[in-house]
Amino acid sequence: MAPRVRAASTQQELPFGVRVRRGKQRLSRDLKPILFVGGILLGGLLLYVWQHVHVVRLSYQLEQLRAARITLIQEGKALGVELGRLRSVRRVEEMARRKLGMVNPVPGQVILLEEPR
Amino acid sequence: MIPQVEKPPLVRVVIPALGLAVFLGVVGARLYFIQIVQHHDLGTRAETQYERRIPVSSRRGTIYDRRGRALAISLDVASVYAHPGLVHDPIITASRLSKVLNLSARKIQAKLRSGRPFVWIQRKVDPARAEAVAKLALPGVGLVPEGKRYYPKRNLAAHVIGFAGLDDQGLEGVELACEHLLAGGGRSFRGRVDALGRVVFREAEETRAGSDLYLTIDEVIQHVAERELDAAIQRSGAKSGTVIVADPATGEILALANVPSYDLNRYGSYSPAFRRNRALTDPYEPGSAFKLILAAAALEEGMVKPEDLFHGEDGVIEVAGVKIRDHEKYGRMTFRDVVAFSSNVGAVKVGMKVGKDLFYNYITSFGFGLPTGVDLPGESPGLIRRPGDWSKVSIGALSIGHEISATPMQLIGAVMAVANGGHLMQPHVVRAVHYPDGRMEAIKPLPVRRVISPRTAHTLASMLTEVVQRGTGQAAALPDILVAGKTGTAQKLDQNTGRYSRTKVVASFIGFVPAESPRVAILVLIDEPQRFTWGGTVAAPAFGEIAREVLSYLETLNGPGQVAQRPDEAPTTIN
């Protein structure tokens, strides 16, 4: 059976069954594990960098959410202040007297009933 | 022919390897130099560049009334600051800021040239201006959030609540007295920022929120007190006035109103005279209202009984050469009549029976001459001299409420003691503290001491109802509800002449309702009324109006016939 020789890029057959391998081919085979290990290391490095970038990105999002939360809390408080002002007994009484012409009830006009149980 | 096996030439392996080794060696050496040798210096520089102390929102506690209605609340607003060292052009910066903030460019420029590392340009600006400053993006100029105190009810209970200043620090009222509870611990956190100043990582936050306070004040009762005080002052043309409404069983102050008053949101626009809490800071001679203490002492010691007879001496009695007169001439009268018609002659005779040492003991036992301990700042102890310092006329003067100065708070304390069966209670305005960790601590009523027996208190209460039924305080009467009280009209000492003025008086009415099971004790004090100058004509009507509305409100709150229900048992809306 005729020997089969692998060329750098194609297979090559030589007489007397001698297999010939060019330098590039051997180098390629020797580099494989190095490339494999290097690839893993590089992948690990990229993963390490990615997770840092991801944490930073999440931190930005977190800060945005925090800011939005603070804004909403402040808006809620501001609305609470406005509500307190609008519901002020003095203001309500003044409106009742001036706009609606209401007066204080005289004794006997208010009859309280027990709440049915 | 044997084919030659191609071997890599030495030079192709060794030279790159050597080159790589040298390169790695250089990198390694540099890394060593940076990471090990220069670690400390570079680390410090990086920290100063990336680590910042970032201010956060204010956490000053909120103040609520007893039913959970907000009376004081903090909101974040922006303050404009500058680092003058980082400002590129102070003239242009000042000019642009002055247009936005409506400030003098010269003043801003002076601040920017001050040489200080940090200056405030304007504190607590409104949101529109803050946004405009942010849009300018001036180097060295920044905005920082600061808490601004808002008082949604404006004037309501102004002298109780007080106010917090620019630095969010309490300056008056509960805001000052409870600063340790309301104020938050810190107001910033350490964090890492990127080149644009955005926060990337935040480290442990150092903020500690302030506690919320629930006051004993009830907005509705407070409003009624303020409205009726305003009306009484307008009717009488008086200079000033005070109303206190309190729960005699607990010492809780349900309302405290002073006129003149002020808008808490604009406290800087008012002079200190408007901001003074006269109920605590202004002692006055209580006049006939003080006969309450005399009567308590006389009854408790068994020296006088309600039906004992006294002669009115046709309206005048001489004590150590000084004539003390009644406003009307009285003949024979019982001790009940002495109190009901506020006879000075009868009171002087009772005072002489009691004697100065015993009377002094009762005066101090009722809390006069010492601060009541109410949880508000600036309380005056009033003034009562020791018996050794009394003149021969002092026993007569004290029997009718002169030669002693007492604050309205001390008087309401004494009235509460009569109303609750004899216990002097410490008045207070803070009902509960809501801590940041969620704990709610209720402030318990604090009895100071027993001053009279329940029997004496009951007898005295029945005598005080006669003041309203047939005596000087008839204007305080309510239909179907028994009112107990005492009028007071005290001439004021004229600072110019050193004598008691004939025109300047303090008119007052103190009492409690319903007399048989007191729910509220009320004091009305009108200072220098120009019309209706008697306690019975100017203060008693205001007392009656306040009592009527407060009792009606409490009944509405607690259900039919439940006027006497304690507020603790009443439904509350505390959030």
Residues in chain B closer than 8 A to A113 (CB atoms): 560
Of the CA atoms within 13 Å of residue B386, those in its CB half-sphere come to 1
Angle at A67 between CA A66 and CA A69, to 5 degrees: 65
**Does the complex come out with an ipTM higher than 0.90?**
no
Q: How far apart are CA B163 and CA B157, in angstroms?
A: 11
Angle at B446 between CA B434 and CA B385, to 5 degrees: 130
Interface of A with B in 4-23 (CB under 8 A): 14, 18, 20-23
Asked whether the beta carbons of B111 and B85 are under 8 A apart, the reply is no
Residues in chain A closer than 8 A to B69 (CB atoms): 84, 87
Asked whether the beta carbons of B399 and B372 are under 8 A apart, the reply is no
DSSP string, B52-70: EEEE----PPPEE-TTS-E
Is the pTM higher than 0.95? The answer reads no
A77 contact B CB<8A: yes
- If you measure CA to CA, which chain B residue comes closest to A91? B153
- CB-based contact B200 A80, cutoff 8 Å: no
- CB-based contact B223 A93, cutoff 8 Å: yes
- If you measure CA to CA, which chain A residue comes closest to B74? A77
Which of A45-68 are b and which e, b meaning 16 or more Cβ less than 10 Å from the residue's Cβ?
eeeeeeeeeeeeeebeeebeeeee
Asked whether the beta carbons of B426 and B390 are under 8 A apart, the reply is no
CA distance B425 to chain A (A): 30
CA distance A27 to chain B (A): 9
- Each of the 575 residues of chain B gets a pLDDT tens digit; together they read 555 556 666 777 788 889 999 999 999 999 999 999 998 898 888 777 777 666 665 578 999 999 999 999 988 888 898 888 888 899 999 999 999 999 999 999 999 998 887 888 998 888 788 889 988 988 888 888 777 899 999 999 999 999 998 878 899 999 999 999 998 765 666 777 776 666 677 765 656 689 999 999 999 999 999 999 999 999 999 999 999 999 999 999 999 999 999 999 999 999 999 999 999 999 999 999 999 999 999 999 999 999 999 998 888 999 988 899 998 888 899 999 999 999 999 999 999 999 999 999 999 999 999 999 999 999 999 999 999 999 999 999 999 999 999 999 999 999 999 999 999 999 999 999 999 889 999 999 999 999 999 999 999 999 999 999 999 999 999 988 999 999 999 988 887 887 888 889 999 999 999 999 999 999 999 999 998 889 999 999 999 999 999 998 998 877 665 554 444 433 333 32
CA distance B155 to chain A (A): 10
CA distance A76 to chain B (A): 10
Asked whether the beta carbons of B170 and B162 are under 8 A apart, the reply is yes
